[in-house]
Chains A and B, each alone.
Chain A
Amino acid sequence: MTAFIIRRLLYTIPIVFGVLLLTFVLFTLLGGDISYQIAGRDADAETIAEIRHEYGLDKPLFVGLEPLDEDDWQGHKEAYLKQAREAEEGRLKESTAGPARPLSEFELEQEGQKIWLRDLFKERLGGLHLVQAWRMLDFDSQFFSHFTKALTFNFGYDLNRELIADRIRWGVGPSLALTVPMFIGTVTISIALALVVAFVRGSKLDMILVVICVAGMSIPYLSFIIFGQYFFAYRLDWFPIFFVPDRSIWVSVALPVLIGIAAGLGANLRFYRTVMLDEMQSDYVRTAFAKGLSTRTVLFKHVLKNAMIPIITNVVLSIPYLILGSLLLERFFGIPGLGDLMIQAINSRDFFVLNAMTYIMSLLIVIFTLLTDICYAWVDPRVSLE
């Protein structure tokens, strides 16, 4: 078991690495330099340079290597080559086991800077002349800092120079206030209805429920929200239209929760119905019926208990998404949660926030998947530990 847990833990390393790699490619390589955008339309070169320095955009992209510019190279060329030649000769003298292969790469120190020389033709540096030189920057590259930032959870500042970590911390509460009741409501109602469906399976009522589910899934989410907000908040005035900061958060969250439950019910009921009906076909259910148990006993004592495994998996794996909040609901009702933060980040092309959010969400999903797997192995002896 311990070995299994350790192996699963090790398995998460390449995945976290992959996520970081992907976010680097997306937000740094493809996203490009957004310093112009931060600086505004008519900023001068100095302001832009300052901003680039502030957000670390002036660092080299990958390994901390920076090509030497022409002046630097011409001024120090002789000194560099001399050092390289001396190093090469020293190495050749020391080698006792016959003539050593000539080196094509050298690391030198010059005026406190590390310089990296490479001969493109892989020949002796003294003989050939096509030499490339880079300044070494002690891992101080955007690629490296992307990883260190993520691993130390130090995401720095967003475009408005607020701490990203703070903004995320403030957003979690409102997001959870919205998503937790919504999730609990959806899951309880759909499990209850799924049990009803298991009672009446194959009948007209079952078919009608399935068609209603599919119909509910076919209505765009945005329409649910816009109509709900218009009808219940604007027309009937039962709920506030927009977030009210000075009243309890539950007042503002009530309508979005109801809309979220209504919109999510179709897909959820369909899922739980499949789970229940799968279970209804098992042999032990047939046995239970055959020995004369009532439908109710079979459903609640046998089927529901066994259906708990897929249900709990679904519930546990949904938890990270609860923290992400609901993008659209938060936007429409002005709830200052993480979903709203994301939309603001998209509208202002704030890649720093997007990057931090993507990483934290993925990390949560990795952790919860790991927990589910371990629980599975712990509960179900049939799960192979290999």
Chain B
Amino acid sequence: MTPSETPLKDKPIIRRLVGKGRSLWADGLRRLRKRRLAIVCFWISAAYFILAGFVFVSEIADWDNMLTRWNEEIGPSYQAPLKSYEWQSMDGQTKSGWSLFGTDFLGRSTFRKMLYGAKTSITVALCASLISLLIGVPLGAVAGYFRGWIDDLVVWLLTTLNTIPYILLVMAFAVVLRDKSLFGVPLRGVTGVYLAMGLTSWVGIARLIRGEIMKRKESEYVLAARAMGCSSGRIIFQHLLPNVFHIIIINFSLRFVTFIHSEVILSFLGLGETDKPSWGAMIDAARAELARNVWWEMAAATVAIFVLSLALNLFGDALRDCLDPKLRTD
């Protein structure tokens, strides 16, 4: 073809016949946009992420705002939500006030702790997801593409990790990592938690990616790439992985919820964040508080987790239906 000639797909007659092609993503997003519930869920999750990002940035930049002052005493201990009270603050003045979600044992605002908890939970879930993707995706892809001894090795690793119950494995990792340090960074608190979760949960995504790559590595576009002399690395990372990317995204959004729930359980076991507010620590504190009719701390944390997981679950399901119609059951 000489450069002056118009490409076949741009010829008017062809364009009229075929129309403008839509990619998998454009097609999926178009379907997704029609679902109002999914869009609402997306924005709810986005709000959580923005909140977490805001807390993160204001901590690093040392901004003085409501959330970085979560530790501040705003009233007597265990004040019910929306109830006005009189109290003597540290400087001896008598003040009157009220709080939206009540106060905790030390007179701190439950509302601020709840908002701050978004940062803890999302940091843990995000880091754990990234670690598990960084391990699982390349391993699964390489195993599925090359087969042979690499595949045997990866499958052996997968089966071995899969043979140990997940909760046992996470706990074992968390308890062992708790007092270690990696490159000078102590693995106390959240760092140990997301490392433990990330290092144990890559099995699922690796298995999925391996299966998909095995299915697709004989397809025409891969054969074409190979015929043109592409290296294996290029075929895997530039041709195959973009085509299974939707699986990664779907897995990511659904796995995220599991991580948030695991953080709660690990916090309860005393393996989580200890000196910053977290939803797990708030629910854990409720064990002692409920007997004194202090329900608001648990309610705040539960509602925060509930809304985020519901939004992510529904959004993840919608995403799966839209991006991978083959997986649809109804």
Spell out A's residues near B (CB within 8 Å). Answer: 14-15, 18-19, 22-23, 26-27, 30-31, 201-202, 214-215, 217-223, 226-227, 230, 234, 274, 277-278, 281, 320-321, 324, 327-328, 332, 342-343, 346-347, 349, 351, 354, 357-358, 361-362, 365-366, 369
Beyond A220-B302, A234-B291, A328-B268, whether A18 also contacts B176 by CB under 8 A is no
Flag if B168 contacts A14 (CB, 8 Å).
no
Interface flag for B257 (CB, 8 Å): yes
Flag if B172 contacts A354 (CB, 8 Å).
yes
Whole-angstrom distance between the Cβ of B178 and the nearest chain A Cβ: 9
Chain A: which residue is nearest B329 at the CB level?
A277
Flag if B176 contacts A342 (CB, 8 Å).
no
How many angstroms from the CA of A218 to the CA of B290 in the assembled complex?
A: 22
Flag if B306 contacts A30 (CB, 8 Å).
no
Beyond A214-B310, A358-B172, A365-B165, whether A226 also contacts B286 by CB under 8 A is yes
Give the residues from 171 to 224 in chain B that come closer than 8 angstroms, CB to CB, to chain A: 171-173, 175-177, 180
Interface flag for B163 (CB, 8 Å): yes
Give the residues from 149 to 182 in chain B that come closer than 8 angstroms, CB to CB, to chain A: 156-157, 159-161, 163-165, 167-169, 171-173, 175-177, 180
Given the complex, which residues of A lie within 8 Å of B257, measured CB to CB? 217-218
B163 touches which of A15, A342, A349 (Cβ 8 Å): A15
How many angstroms from the CA of A221 to the CA of B280 in the assembled complex?
A: 11
Give the residues from 270 to 307 in chain B that come closer than 8 angstroms, CB to CB, to chain A: 270-271, 279-280, 283-284, 286-287, 290-291, 298, 301-302, 305-306
A27 touches which of B157, B176, B270, B290 (Cβ 8 Å): B176
Flag if B283 contacts A226 (CB, 8 Å).
yes
Interface flag for B110 (CB, 8 Å): no
B330 touches which of A31, A201, A320, A324 (Cβ 8 Å): A201
Flag if A361 contacts B264 (CB, 8 Å).
no
Flag if B283 contacts A22 (CB, 8 Å).
no
Chain B: which residue is nearest A219 at the CB level?
B306
Flag if A214 contacts B270 (CB, 8 Å).
no
- 9 residue pairs bridging A and B, Cβ less than 8 Å apart: A18-B160, A30-B180, A222-B284, A226-B286, A226-B287, A274-B329, A347-B269, A354-B171, A366-B163
Flag if A218 contacts B173 (CB, 8 Å).
no
Chain A: which residue is nearest B157 at the CB level?
A18
Flag if B283 contacts A358 (CB, 8 Å).
no
Flag if B268 contacts A222 (CB, 8 Å).
yes
Flag if B306 contacts A230 (CB, 8 Å).
no
Given the complex, which residues of B lie within 8 Å of A278, measured CB to CB? 329
Q: How many A-B residue contacts, CB cutoff 8 Å?
A: 123
Enumerate the 8 nearest inter-chain pairs by beta-carbon distance, A residue then B residue, closest first.
Answer: A18-B160, A218-B309, A218-B310, A223-B302, A230-B290, A362-B163, A277-B329, A30-B176
Interface flag for B314 (CB, 8 Å): yes
Give 6 new A-B contacts, CB below 8 A, not counting A222-B264, A321-B165: A27-B176, A202-B330, A214-B310, A214-B314, A222-B280, A346-B271
How many angstroms from the CA of A106 to the CA of B160 in the assembled complex?
A: 37
Given the complex, which residues of B lie within 8 Å of A14, measured CB to CB? 156
How many angstroms from the CA of A324 to the CA of B265 in the assembled complex?
A: 16
Number of B residues, CB within 8 Å of A: 46
Interface flag for B239 (CB, 8 Å): no
Chain B: which residue is nearest A354 at the CB level?
B172
Given the complex, which residues of B lie within 8 Å of A362, measured CB to CB? 163-165
Give the residues from 124 to 165 in chain B that come closer than 8 angstroms, CB to CB, to chain A: 156-157, 159-161, 163-165
Flag if B168 contacts A361 (CB, 8 Å).
yes
Output the residue of B164, B261, B286, B291 with the most chain A CB within 10 A.
B164
Beyond A19-B163, A226-B286, A328-B265, whether A218 also contacts B171 by CB under 8 A is no
Whole-angstrom distance between the Cβ of B289 and the nearest chain A Cβ: 10
Whole-angstrom distance between the Cβ of B158 and the nearest chain A Cβ: 10
Whole-angstrom distance between the Cβ of B296 and the nearest chain A Cβ: 13
Flag if B306 contacts A218 (CB, 8 Å).
yes
Flag if A26 contacts B173 (CB, 8 Å).
yes
Interface flag for B123 (CB, 8 Å): no
Chain A: which residue is nearest B264 at the CB level?
A220
B160 touches which of A19, A27, A217, A219 (Cβ 8 Å): A19
Contact with A along B24-60 (1 / 0, CB 8 A): 0000000000000000000000000000000000000
Given the complex, which residues of B lie within 8 Å of A342, measured CB to CB? 168, 171
Whole-angstrom distance between the Cβ of B140 and the nearest chain A Cβ: 18
Flag if A223 contacts B298 (CB, 8 Å).
yes
Whole-angstrom distance between the Cβ of B256 and the nearest chain A Cβ: 12
How many angstroms from the CA of A202 to the CA of B329 in the assembled complex?
A: 11
Flag if A327 contacts B330 (CB, 8 Å).
no
How many angstroms from the CA of A375 to the CA of B265 in the assembled complex?
A: 36
Flag if B163 contacts A365 (CB, 8 Å).
yes
Flag if A30 contacts B177 (CB, 8 Å).
yes
Interface flag for B120 (CB, 8 Å): no
Whole-angstrom distance between the Cβ of A313 and the nearest chain B Cβ: 15
Output the residue of A218, A221, A230 with the most chain B CB within 10 A.
A218
Interface flag for B79 (CB, 8 Å): no
Whole-angstrom distance between the Cβ of A337 and the nearest chain B Cβ: 14
Given the complex, which residues of A lie within 8 Å of B109, measured CB to CB? none
Given the complex, which residues of B lie within 8 Å of A281, measured CB to CB? 329
Beyond A220-B283, A234-B291, whether A27 also contacts B172 by CB under 8 A is yes
Interface flag for B103 (CB, 8 Å): no
Beyond A15-B160, A218-B257, A219-B302, whether A26 also contacts B171 by CB under 8 A is no
Contact with A along B246-270 (1 / 0, CB 8 A): 0000000000010001001100111
How many angstroms from the CA of A81 to the CA of B298 in the assembled complex?
A: 73
Given the complex, which residues of A lie within 8 Å of B163, measured CB to CB? 15, 18-19, 362, 365-366, 369
How many angstroms from the CA of A14 to the CA of B152 in the assembled complex?
A: 11
How many angstroms from the CA of A19 to the CA of B310 in the assembled complex?
A: 35
